[in-house]
């Protein structure tokens, strides 16, 4: 990762030296140094119907301290519990915080697997480099997360739609109010047994096309998973909720380009009424769009599995005006969001100015046809019914 930064002409030699020395001359993250302290009594799993997203946590957490002087300390797995920090810690004042979201699944053959953890680690390192927090060896953190899951494997829920949500987090812990780069950090990982992300369960959602606030902009950090990207979106989300919509559909610029949804990337399906050809479209990764792992999986599977005689799969700019016009022409076929937490979430309606754009669903169902297919393709891989390259990584045996 840091190699990529070195080739970026925006980084002078002096700046490069500061960023580089944090990783080169000090201890590397090393999973073999793990120390484990276990809870005295394991907790019992909750029934699936009592799981509220991100409200229940497992018995243990992973915690690793970093200092600029020494590098990464020995990783520790310990009972889940509060963190004590100085009130002047830079995380509280200047938002030195980033996180990831990935999931582990219980497969039919009694294994626990993680889905594409390498992609999350790659993105986590990019987020860390962007806010001057330390980077780390992805494989070492994947091994450590595997050990954490192994400790709490009895709490990984069973059944399609249920999984263990994994939340790696990194914060700057340098105390002092001067604004500068952190020389201390804490990387920790907590895990939470989960079902559907939305309170409405596995139902199609309503979005409010939002141009009264902006989530991300060119030259900003919209493609990084920083906590600071989320807090400013809550007020617009409440404004959307007040009008009866679950999430914002973020628009950008005078063109009103569609970018993404509150906690998901977004896809639309159009059908050209003259040629009959269908198009699956999502916004391009131009630095304002979160580089979603589910987004990438949807695009890969669609490009592999959809017949190119009937389909085009495009990453291109498109606007709310196009969606509105094509809906009027009967060319809007379906739409869905994709994300780790929300997986594949069908969309049924988009509020825009004075109209409510109705997104077609299959008769009597909560989803469009491609949305259903894509959700099934991904679930088959995640729940171990199908192997797709190295997308699933076994971390524990349940039996």
Smallest separation (angstroms) from ligand COI to the CB of 341: 3
Smallest separation (angstroms) from ligand COI to the CB of 165: 7
| Distance of alpha carbon 178 from alpha carbon 394, whole angstroms | 44
Token look-up 């004590």 returns: 84
Sheet strands (E) in the chain: 35-36, 60-67, 71-72, 76-79, 97-99, 102-106, 111-115, 163-172, 184-194, 205-210, 247-252, 257-261, 264-271, 278-282, 311-315, 332-339, 343-352, 355-358, 392-397
Shorter beta-carbon distance to ligand COI: residue 23 or 237: 237
Helix (H), strand (E) at residue 6: helix 2-6
| Distance of alpha carbon 268 from alpha carbon 247, whole angstroms | 16
Contact 91, 169 (CB under 8 A): no
Shorter beta-carbon distance to ligand COI: residue 195 or 339: 339
| Distance of alpha carbon 158 from alpha carbon 304, whole angstroms | 29
Among 213, 165, 163, 174, residue whose Cα is nearest residue 48: 163
| Distance of alpha carbon 213 from alpha carbon 211, whole angstroms | 5
SS3 label, residue 124: helix
Q: Which two tokens stand for residue 223?
A: 């493609």
Shorter beta-carbon distance to ligand COI: residue 145 or 341: 341
Give Cα separations from 48 to 120, 158, 194, 218, 329 (angstroms): 26, 8, 8, 41, 42
Shorter beta-carbon distance to ligand COI: residue 136 or 197: 197
Smallest separation (angstroms) from ligand COI to the CB of 294: 8
Smallest separation (angstroms) from ligand COI to the CB of 79: 24
Q: Which two tokens stand for residue 154?
A: 């009895």
Q: Which residues pair with 57 in a beta bridge?
A: none
Shorter beta-carbon distance to ligand COI: residue 101 or 195: 101
Smallest separation (angstroms) from ligand COI to the CB of 263: 4
Shorter beta-carbon distance to ligand COI: residue 75 or 101: 101
Smallest separation (angstroms) from ligand COI to the CB of 303: 22
Smallest separation (angstroms) from ligand COI to the CB of 101: 2
DSSP 8-state class, residue 360:
P
Token look-up 């700057």 returns: 172
Shorter beta-carbon distance to ligand COI: residue 15 or 231: 231
Interacting residue ranges for ligand COI, rule: CB under 6 A: 101, 263, 339-341
Token look-up 């780790």 returns: 340
Contact 168, 141 (CB under 8 A): yes
Q: Which residue is closest to ligand COI by CB?
A: 101
Contact 332, 270 (CB under 8 A): yes
Smallest separation (angstroms) from ligand COI to the CB of 23: 25
Shorter beta-carbon distance to ligand COI: residue 127 or 138: 127
Shorter beta-carbon distance to ligand COI: residue 248 or 340: 340
Shorter beta-carbon distance to ligand COI: residue 206 or 225: 225
Shorter beta-carbon distance to ligand COI: residue 101 or 157: 101
What is the number of other CB atoms lying within 10 angstroms of the CB of residue 395?
22
Smallest separation (angstroms) from ligand COI to the CB of 171: 16
Smallest separation (angstroms) from ligand COI to the CB of 222: 14
| Distance of alpha carbon 255 from alpha carbon 247, whole angstroms | 21
Smallest separation (angstroms) from ligand COI to the CB of 104: 13
| Distance of alpha carbon 33 from alpha carbon 396, whole angstroms | 20
């Amino acid at each position: 990762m840091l190699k990529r930064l070195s080739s970026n002409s925006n980084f002078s030699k002096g700046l490069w030296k500061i960023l580089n020395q944090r990783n080169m001359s000090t201890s590397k993250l090393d999973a073999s140094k793990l120390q484990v302290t276990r809870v005295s009594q394991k907790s019992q799993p909750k029934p699936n119907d009592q799981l509220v997203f991100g409200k229940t946590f497992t018995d243990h957490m992973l915690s690793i301290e970093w200092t600029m002087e020494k590098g990464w300390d020995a990783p520790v797995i310990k009972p889940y519990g509060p963190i004590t920090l100085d009130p002047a810690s830079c995380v509280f004042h200047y938002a030195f915080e980033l996180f990831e979201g990935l999931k582990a699944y219980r497969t039919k053959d009694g294994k626990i697997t993680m889905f594409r953890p390498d992609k999350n680690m790659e993105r986590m390192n990019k987020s860390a480099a962007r806010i001057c927090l330390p980077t780390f060896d992805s494989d070492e953190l994947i091994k450590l997360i595997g050990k954490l899951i192994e400790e709490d494997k009895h709490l990984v829920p069973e059944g399609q739609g249920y999984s263990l949500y994994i939340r790696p987090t990194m914060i700057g812990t340098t105390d002092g109010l001067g604004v500068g780069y952190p020389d201390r950090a804490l990387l920790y990982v907590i895990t939470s047994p989960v079902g559907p992300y939305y309170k409405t369960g596995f139902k199609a959602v309503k979005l409010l096309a939002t141009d009264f606030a902006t989530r991300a902009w060119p030259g900003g950090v919209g493609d990084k998973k920083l906590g600071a990207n989320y807090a400013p979106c809550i007020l617009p989300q409440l404004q959307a909720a007040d009008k009866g919509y679950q999430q914002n559909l973020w628009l950008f610029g005078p063109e009103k380009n569609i970018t993404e949804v509150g906690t998901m990337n977004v896809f639309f399906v159009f059908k050209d009424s003259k040629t009959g050809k269908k198009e699956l479209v999502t916004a391009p990764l131009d630095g304002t769009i979160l580089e979603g792992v589910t987004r990438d999986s949807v695009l890969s599977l669609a490009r592999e599995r959809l017949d190119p005689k009937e389909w085009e799969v495009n990453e291109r700019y498109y606007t709310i005006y196009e969606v509105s016009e094509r809906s009027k022409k009967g060319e809007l076929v379906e739409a869905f969001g994709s994300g780790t937490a929300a997986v594949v979430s069908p969309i049924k309606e988009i509020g825009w100015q004075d109209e409510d754009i109705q997104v077609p669903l299959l008769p009597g169902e909560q989803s469009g046809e491609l949305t259903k297919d894509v959700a099934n393709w991904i679930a088959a891989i995640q729940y171990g019914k199908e192997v797709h390259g190295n997308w699933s990584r076994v971390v524990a045996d349940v039996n």
